[in-house]
Amino acid sequence: MFLCDRSCHRPIFGRASRGQAMTEYMIVFPVMLVLVFGTLQFALLYQAKTQLNYAAFESARSGAVNNAQRWALKAGLVRGLAPIHTHGQGRNWLRWARSKVWDQIDAGLVEIQIINPDERAFDTHGIDEGGDRLIPNDNLMYRDATVKGAGTAKLSIQDANLLKIRVLYCVEMHVPFVNRMINALLRIGGPTPTGAGPSGVVGTGQLSTWTNTGTGFTTTADSFEENCLERVPLQHLPIASEAIIRMQSAPIFDPPPAAP
């Protein structure tokens, strides 16, 4: 008669199945972690983009009633972006949030581009008054609507009174691991094309493409996107928004600040 203790009746696959479960867990866990962190990061980016859309409109509205001056555009943008940095109630939080946005503007994390009216529009429809170069804004419905100018600068005086701006914002990405992965992926691409875009690089609303030269990444020199993606130690992502509004005051030519 064959004698067998209780160990004979144990499943021979028990320990193997536990090892298989651990292996599957080690494979799936990093993927799930990336998905969860990625969802959180993109939710924060979506919130920042939504707030930037509103801030761009506030900036354009402020410029429309203040002769399209850059100080007015910045002031409106500060009001629109302040809620991103407001984490409490009271005037102190509001002052701090607006101060934070002003600091970001001074640090080059925000750029406002005036698309229309540009310098060619002022050359075509502008008049000199009080030492300023301005485009008349009064009685537009009765003014001559003849399209003037040459090439892509052809427009009527009514069109010259449409304020169109593009706002570029270098937003911080706070979610660990995913922020570095997104930043690294944006640095991979083909040769940098030429044409119109957020910084004169690619199509409107798109980012620059990058080329890995082995010693670094190349794109349009000193473009907003390049400076944003290369900021350390925090990881950043450049986003853009546009706004257009009818001028409520005469646009006065305000040249862009000189490059540092």
What confidence category does residue 8 fall into, taking pLDDT thresholds of 50, 70 and 90? Answer: low
- Please enumerate, as own/partner, the contacts of 125-133 that have beta carbons within 8 Å and a separation of 24 or more: 125/155, 125/157, 125/160, 126/253, 132/252, 132/253, 133/252, 133/253
Rounded average pLDDT over 43-68: 95
Split at pLDDT 50, 70, 90, the class of 190 is very low
- Among candidates 166, 74, 78, 169, which has minimal Cα distance to 118? 166
What are the two backbone dihedrals, phi and then psi, of residue 138, each rounded to the nearest 5 degrees?
A: -85, 150
Of the two residues 8 and 200, the one the predictor is more confident about is 8
pLDDT value at 93 more than 80? yes
| Portion of the chain with pLDDT greater than 70, in percent | 76
pLDDT at 13: 53
Residue 162: how many CB atoms within 10 A of its CB?
A: 17
- The pLDDT, as a whole number, for residue 180 is 87
Per-residue pLDDT at 98 exceeds 70: yes
Rounded mean pLDDT, 213-239:
71
- pLDDT tens string 115-127: 999 999 999 999 9
Measured CA to CA in angstroms, residue 116 lies from 154, 168, 243 at distances of: 12, 16, 11
- Model pLDDT, residue 260: 55
| Cα four-point dihedral sign 174, 178, 180, 186 | negative
Residue 252, C-beta contacts closer than 8 angstroms, at least 6 positions apart: 67, 68, 69, 132, 133, 134
- Cα–Cα separations (whole angstroms), residue 208 to 49, 172, 182, 192: 18, 18, 14, 7
Position 7 scores a pLDDT of: 53
Band of residue 211 on the pLDDT scale cut at 50, 70, 90? very low
Which letter does DSSP use for residue 200 in this model? S
Average pLDDT over residues 203-229: 55
**Nearest Cα residue to 64 out of 154, 130, 137, 124:** 137
Higher pLDDT, 164 or 86: 164
The H or E element spanning position 236 is strand 235-246
pLDDT tens-digit series, residues 135-162: 999 998 888 888 887 766 789 999 999 9
Q: Which residue has the higher pLDDT, 20 or 181?
A: 181
Q: Confirm if 243 and 57 have CB atoms less than 8 A apart.
A: yes
pLDDT score, position 122? 92
